Structure 1
Amino acid sequence: MRSQAAAHDERIGIVVMMPDRGAVSSVLLHVDPSWSLSAAAREFARSGVPVFPCAPNGKRPITAQGFHDATTDLRQIEAWWDQIPNANIGLPTGAASGAVVVDVDVHGPVNGYEALERSRRAGVLGAWELTTRSPSGGTHLFYPATPGTEQRSWQAARAGIDFRGDGGYIVVPPSRRVIDGQQRRYGLDQVNTGPATGLDARRLRDFLDPRPVIPPPESRGVGRSPDVSELAARVASLREGERNLGLFKAACRLAENGTPPADALAELGAAAGQAGLGQREITRTVRSAYDNVGRFGPRYRASMSPQQSTDAAEHRPSHPPVYRGM
């Protein structure tokens, strides 16, 4: 669903018609901080955009199946927000909503805005519809999803940029979080008054963080080299009760085929986060898988801090599961 939007240019006193927008961008253009979270959630649903509740002041889905529970059913949405009026608004990305998002973040020494500027200069960003700011100082760039083309979510942690596509979700305005003891809102930041273009997510990822080449497995009974995209997609779709084991098995596949631990975290981290696992849990599970496989042996363990080694040992299953494929 696409619609036209209008903006008032105060400098010349006229109304400027903007190009057609996707349903997500159209709602974001007129939802402002004065709206209640319940009213905004209903507005998305009325526009054909499925939503679901996330934890108040947080990003974690609070329904049983996470973003898989997203709906446009107004009665269900009213029931959710009647029960928890301050629940944040989650929105599935990709084909489900018609929008994909480039998520720019700043954490520690990693500045996603630097990578964003490099991507812009290289011509791999395209033209977004609009951007929103996040409470933590990041930015979300919204693009129209490409009809008939699946683009899975991924994470380029070393660049400070994530892509939220099929199998992912984003938190949208007027949701809020508590940062450094202060409540801060997601909000509209910039609007592109020109035509938007689709985003080639694979091209962007290859530019930011070329994917590792997985070497052929050694002759010790290991099957074919894993399809990393397929592994990540399976991890992203895991449900509660199977997430840790599923991530453990996927990480074992990468470890068996010689993928360095840092690359495994980059490949599977975003997918596991979309499934609902926390970053500490993801890191511990991947470390446990590598410790269990033992491919990196003393060299891998020597690269870990004493606390990391302890974490891995504590998290390692007492009887590692027997599995075939994935």
Structure 2
Amino acid sequence: MNDMTIGLSTNGQAAISYAKLGLHVFPCVPNEKRPMTPNGQLDATTDLEKIRQWWTHAPYANIGLYLKPSGLVAVDPDLYKPDCQWEPFIEGKEIPQTWVQDSPQGGRHYIFRADPNATYAGKLCQGVDVKWDGYILLAPSVVNGKPYTTVEGRYLATAPVWVASAQRVSAEPFDRATLTAGGKPIPDRSEHFYGAVGKLKDAGLSIDAAESALRTDPFTYGADKYLGSGRDYLRRELERAWGKLDSPAPQVGRPAFQLRLAGEWEATDPVWLIDGFIEVGALGLLFGDPGVGKSFLAIDWAYCVATGTEFMGRAVKQGTVVYVAGEGHRGFGRRREAWGQHHGEDTLTAPVYLSHGPADMLGAVAEVKAAIAALPQPPALIVFDTLARNFGGGDENSTKDMTAFIAAVDQLKAAYPDCTVLIVHHSGHAEKQRARGAMALKGAVDTEYRLDASPAGLVLANTKMKDDQPPDALHMQLQPTGKSAVLVEGDAPVAGVSEQQRMGLDTLMAVLVEMQHPGDNTLIPTEVWRQRFYDGMGDKTPNAKRQAFNRVCKSLMDSGSINKCGDSYQIMPTLTSRLTIMKAARKVGTV
């Protein structure tokens, strides 16, 4: 092992080794043959640093080999197919000793050096392809849980003459129509491709975004046959299809709307993303006052899902996470680092994808869909933090605009049915017990949580659980860690706190959360706390706000919770005991 392979997975080390032999490699989706890079095989390289970056980001990525620039050609007999004519074809022909590997399905690759004066393409016979201007996967890649295995070593013989005798498969004329879409003809050989293009167009994607999606997942979209000749070939066919197709897209298969006897629907148990809290495929809402700690919780959930780490003792289903952050990117890095330090997890390579800025979900959802489609794995969780910052130019109080936002989110859920979407939102200005804006949002979500500050820390309360038993309230606290803080499970509320003190403590806790220093002797600027307190009193008169704040300060000073220090208030140990965790972890890894 050398410096380039230290810390890499087995697949990453193998990819580096192949590249050192002059082979052009690129990553493919783990357990699949689909490329992970935007341009598929065209992104293949021998650049060791680039390859290291790819497999550091995706340790279990399969290894794709682009044959032509590597100077190689492969004979690919599908030995597992009953109609494969390999044995009769090869009888009497010499197969020189060369690199051989078996595929998971039972096929075989004979890999040769390509004769620079020869051209290779097409089929040798039924069930036997010659691959040259294309790619294959290399051992130890795995597909459907089964690995590619090396049969013979990596000695490479020059391809025998009979490999170059492969007959080209002639394509039928492009304009031969046997299917119509929007009144325009579709060639039968491209029905799959045209149907995919039509769906991308109907989804509102631009032609550039559609091209990106096709290149990211060419096999699914039927675009792989256009990649062998380079980018211009795919773009040309895409433009032809784009021009021929009118909306709606051709309906292939069963119609979108159907009726079925209700008794035929199976009653299934819930599948939880976070056990007892939020289901796989659900639409969730997390709301609370500004600064209360919503983003701390959303980031906690995101990294629990990305790493498969339990959330405060509750099982989590692991998967890729998309975090659409409208603000706070600098703080995100500190919180990510603190979370990894607390849980002992590597957050640098965890599959959490952070947006560069907010998304305009009312006007540019196609851009969001295209960006997600380009990821190596479909998301298990998408977080919008916050709704306001991702609402574009809409009005949260408008039922029409909120319904449009929900429809945009539904597009993402339709594209990824097993993906949970979490929306982070603010409390109402006057009604703190509900989320801000139009009620259409609460009607649409499957589950809803309110996060409040309390004398004991933070309280997460379920306010809607559509199909399951609501979980009990969860008491949490912020524990300073590294350059930020993390959430840990906390004590139950402390008794004996008056309503007047509770009001002061709630606003004081919000300031502490923002400062990320809930500890002894912390100084809170009076003006910062006062303004937060005033904001919480809604439309009360300035005089009423001032008198209430003074009463709260006096009450907390009398109880020994705070002390006046010039233009600030000092947090005393009596109050600290209510705001920080004072008990041991219930289990290893929780605290």
- Structure of higher RCO (CA pairs closer than 8 Å, 6+ residues apart): 1
| TM-score normalised by structure 2 residue count | 0.29
- Which structure has the larger Rg? 2
